[in-house]
Structure 1
Amino acid sequence: MKIAMVSEHANPVGAHKGEPTCGDSVHLTSVARQLAKLGHRVTVYTRHADPATAERTRMGRGVTVEHLTAGPVRKLDEAELPEHTAAFASALTTALTNDVPDVVHAFGWSSGLATMAAVRDSGHEIPTVQSFHSLSISERRAGLPGADRVRLEAALAQNADSVLVNSSEQMFELARMGVPRSTVSVVPYGVDAEHFSVDGVQQGPWHHRRTGAGQRLRVIAVTGLGRESGADSLIDMMVRVPESELLIVGGPSADDLTIDPDARRLEQRAKEAGVDDRITLTGAVDRKELPRILRSADVFVSTASYDPYGGAVLEAMACGLPVVARAVGSVTGAVLDGTTGVLLRSARPDTLGRILRTLSADATKRTAYGIAGSDRAASRFGWERIAGETERIYTKLFPMEAELPLAVGDDAN
């Protein structure tokens, strides 16, 4: 099968190289690779945003990334993207006309707009799949800033042949928007359970034996530093868990932390609370190093007001960490309350502190949560399974009597 994946805003090349990047990029890279292993030929179309990147990049056998010129060749702010979506759609039309795929899969609303226009203008009847990692209505309920895209997302979902979402919560939101449930499927975000695993080398600057007598409980969070991330609650939580230390992984690079306003705000908050000696901001970390840092900790905490991916939670579970998380977005489908960790209605510092004090005193429960979490992450959320579920959605779009689309290695070139 020839598969075209469209992502105007996210480029999979960075994730392919193991660089710190967004959840969309990780998803694109991981699913594309796994689909190629299943014998499909995948082309990812994204906007050309880096002059140092070639127009065409290969990500292993069966996967190619095409960088389409649409506006300035630089990274754009989210607010700038709509200005260049029409140009991206025009370039995508040419690409799909010259190399007609069997199915087109759009990721995000701007990619959905471009795909809808490109398929129409190409003159070919190509089945379309629309993925939403995040929905405007969910973001607004969480109090996040941003434009109201509810009607636009509903129109895109109704126009697509199939719609993929990360969670049942998103499926219900689309149903409320009038999208037929028969066209919507839940295919969750995934995790590389070979890279993020319980076993691995633990030497390095973050080496830490799991808590024993006389040791501090090491708590870790992988999150942004903005107010919506819940990082402020993490600082306040530490006042209530005196025998602990906290690593906050994320934000800008370590070299830029000193000039980052959010990092300075958190450091000042920690100083005023008297916990600055027990809190470390690491900055962004390469994905190849992230498992080692996760394995050094005792508990993973997520306090974000909205988490449409749940990726950081899954990676922590895969590394054997018990998870304490706010029950939002895709987190509710990843964590089994009382089995792999604890789900909370809110991220109040006093509640977080109480849970962490309980876990600090109960090594057996921490271990049980960690074992159950790693098993669940590997068995349910491995990218191989996620790609297989995605492939089945594609296959349903073809009539049973139709000839099977060409797979990698079947063409004579």
Structure 2
Amino acid sequence: MALLDLPVASALADREVVRADGLRVAMLSVHTSPLAQPGTGDAGGMNVYVRGLARALAGLGAHVEIFTRATASAQPDVHEAGDGVLVRHVLAGPYEGLDKNELPGQLCAFTAGVLRTEASRRPGWYDVVHSHYWLSGQVGWLAADRWDVPLVHSMHTMAKVKNAALAPGDVPEPHGRVVGEEQVVEAADALVASTPDEAAELRDLYGADPSRVHVVAPGADLELFRPLPGPRGADDPALRDRLGLPQGPLVLFVGRVQPLKGPDTLVEAAAELRAQGRPVPWIVVCGGPSGRATAVRELAVLADRLGVGDRVLFRPPVPRTALGDWYRSADVVAMPSHSESFGLVAAEAEACGTPVVATAVGGLRTVVVDEVSGLLVDGHDPRAWAAALDRVLADDVLRARLGEGAAAVGARFGWETAARGMLDVYRDAAKVRRSRVA
């Protein structure tokens, strides 16, 4: 049974009462599991996105099955991740020891596992395939074709965009990924961009059909990430004590420690402030290494070499249920990324009422409203970053105003809103699919 033949089709025509009762979504996330702890290895914003969207779709009545690669023998074949959401661990290659760039060699095995699951059901079980990242898009291309259902694809990051903004010492994405992305763009019935900028990149860099490109902003869990009454940041010593954080001005970085995310820029900005005789805030890096196992140690060595090792603290990734307190404990959350398709950390921090200082790149230009919810910095000049951080930290009135603006901006990003927008995309993709095979 095709998507447009379902009872949900009539509801999809009216966004005010949209429901997804009975809709079955096969969601593909090959290289990283929505169950993994974000902030280290390959686990990051995409994990949060897939799980948050799946749960919100389920809340609207859909049944979502997320297919991801098994990475441990102890993982169950099927894990219930909430009402209406199943995570299926597909055996494809060894559990450990595979780098993300080696996974194309396991796509055949992964695809076989996905198709085998569908084959055990009645024909027409799934109504739509939604793939995340280009590796999943390759699998989704075949699955959607085999099942004759729409393929909806979310890029999350794009090789051509990343390669155009490489951080010093970073490695370019391989040509094989570029080709794979181009194939998925051509095959998809709908492409989901997180921001208008990403939509333009799909059209301009990949030749995507504009009629198939849709903008749906990701969400933040507004139950976990919200302002709380009482003091904030440096004015809440009890919270700092509970988290084991020092008192005084504090800048928080949350994410994977890798060149793409630019944590070295914060270290260099701290050194610039010290050289200028300005107060040096605490720089707290909450995350683990990605790409290079030595990434955290290398950042610590840089801090020592620049004379600010006494002000840079490293903490491992924390569970999402505790992350809101970390955002609220900070005076500023910093995102000095070289490339971001959206910037979930910024949205979550803002939802907690914490100002964000971010690079004016990609989705961060949409998530962070300059001079309203935070500040945008052009490039990665340590002097510019030092000036921006010092401006917010030294001005209590400005920081309070940006905090209020951050809470207002962050409240716009809810997962239910994202899920309702995605249902519209699924509906349009079904129309495209029918027109392409007619």
Question: Structure 1-normalised TM-score?
Answer: 0.87
One-letter code aligned to 1:185: H
Answer yes or no: is the 8 Å Cα contact 1:96–1:119 preserved in 2. no
Q: 1:337 to 1:296 in 2, by over 3 A?
A: same
- Cα deviation 1:22-76 (Å, max 9, x = unaligned): 2221111111111111011111111222211110111121111112222223363
Q: Hey, what does 2:249 align to over in structure 1? A: 217
Matching of residue 174 in structure 1 with residue 202 in structure 2: yes
- Measure, in 2, the Cα distance between the counterparts of 1:303 and 1:27: 21
Q: SS at 2:83's partner residue? A: coil
In the alignment, is residue 147 of structure 1 matched against residue 174 of structure 2? Answer: yes
> Quick one: distance in 1 between partners of 2:254 and 2:287?
6
Q: Determine whether 1:25 maps to 2:40.
A: no
Matched, 1:272 2:305: yes
Partner residue in 2 for 1:407:
none
Which residues of 2 match residues 64-213 of structure 1 at below 5 A? 64-74=86-96, 76-99=98-121, 100-120=125-145, 122=146, 124-143=147-166, 144-145=170-171, 146-148=173-175, 149-176=177-204, 177-199=206-228, 203=238, 206=241
Contact residue 310 and residue 331 of structure 1 kept, 8 A: yes
CA deviation digits over 1:279-326, x for unaligned, max 9? 211122222222112211111111111122401111111111111110
The one-letter code matched in structure 2 to 1:194 is: E
Cα offset for 1:200? 7.4
Q: Which structure 2 residues correspond to residues 171-320 of structure 1 after superposition, within 5 A?
A: 171-176=199-204, 177-199=206-228, 203=238, 206=241, 216-239=248-271, 240=273, 241-252=278-289, 261-320=294-353
Amino acid of the structure 2 residue aligned with 1:135: M
| Separation in structure 1 between the aligned mates of residue 148 and residue 139 of structure 2, nearest angstrom | 16
Contact 1:168 1:186 in 2 (8 A): yes
> Identity across aligned pairs (percent)?
30
Structure 2: tracts of 5 or more residues without a match: 1-22, 231-235
Contact 1:15-1:26 within 8 A present in 2 as well: no
Structure 2: how far apart are the matches of 1:358 and 1:23? 28
Partners of 1:14 and 1:20 within 8 A in 2: no
What is the TM-score with the length of structure 2 in the denominator? Answer: 0.82
Residues 228, 393 of structure 1: CA spacing in aligned structure 2 closer, same or farther, 3 A cutoff?
closer
Q: 1:340 aligns with which of 357, 373, 378?
A: 373
Could you tell me which amino acid in structure 2 is paired with residue 222 of structure 1?
A: V
Superimposed CA distance per residue, residues 165-219 of structure 1 (whole angstroms, 9 cap, x where no aligned partner): 22222211221222111100111232112101221797555559x99xxx73211
2:321 partner SS: coil
Distance 1:205 1:366, change over 3 A: closer
Q: Structure 1's 126 and 15: CA in aligned 2 closer, same or farther, altered over 3 A?
A: farther
Q: Distance in 2 between matches of 1:147 and 1:243?
A: 39
Over the aligned positions, Cα root-mean-square deviation in angstroms equals 2.7
Is the contact between residue 49 and residue 75 of structure 1 (CA under 8 Å) also seen in structure 2? Answer: no
Aligned counterparts of 1:304 and 1:47: Cα–Cα separation in 2: 28
Indicate conservation of the 8 Å contact 1:326/1:346, yes or no. yes
Residue 243 of structure 1 and its aligned partner are, at CA, apart by 4.2
Contact kept? 2:70, 2:90, Cα under 8 Å: yes
- Report how far residue 262 of structure 1 moved: 2.3
Residues 359/157 of structure 1: CA separation in 2 closer, same or farther (3 Å cut) = same
**SS of the residue 1:12 aligns to:** coil
Closer/same/farther in 2, CA of residues 200 and 64 from structure 1, 3 Å limit: farther
Partner Cα distance (1:75, 1:309) in 2:
29
Give how far 1:361 is off.
Answer: 2.6
Unpaired stretches in structure 1, ≥5 consecutive residues: 254-258, 403-413
Q: SS at 1:397's partner residue?
A: helix
Q: Deviations over 1:346-367 (max 9, x none)?
A: 1211111112222223211111
| Structure 2 Cα separation of the partners of residues 340 and 104 of structure 1 | 36
The separation in 2 between residues aligned to 1:5 and 1:317, in whole angstroms, is 28
Q: Indicate how the Cα distance of structure 1 residues 293 and 32 shifts in structure 2: closer, same or farther if over 3 A, else same.
A: same
* Residues in 1 aligned to 2:386 and 2:396: alpha-carbon distance in whole angstroms: 16
Query: Distance in 2 between the 1:166 and 1:93 partners?
Result: 29
- Paired with 1:186 and 1:9, the residues of 2 have a C-alpha distance of 24
Q: CA deviation at 1:13?
A: 2.3
Paired letter, 1:292: D
Specify whether residues 60 and 75 from structure 1 end up closer, same or farther in structure 2 by C-alpha distance, changes over 3 A only.
farther
- For 2:306 and 2:154, locate their aligned partners in 1 and report how far apart those are by CA, in whole Å: 42
2 CA distance for matches of 1:359 and 1:397? 44
SS in 1 for 2:423: helix
Specify the code of the residue in structure 2 equivalent to 1:395: R
SS of 1:13 mapped into structure 2: coil
Change in 2 beyond 3 A, CA 1:260/1:374:
same
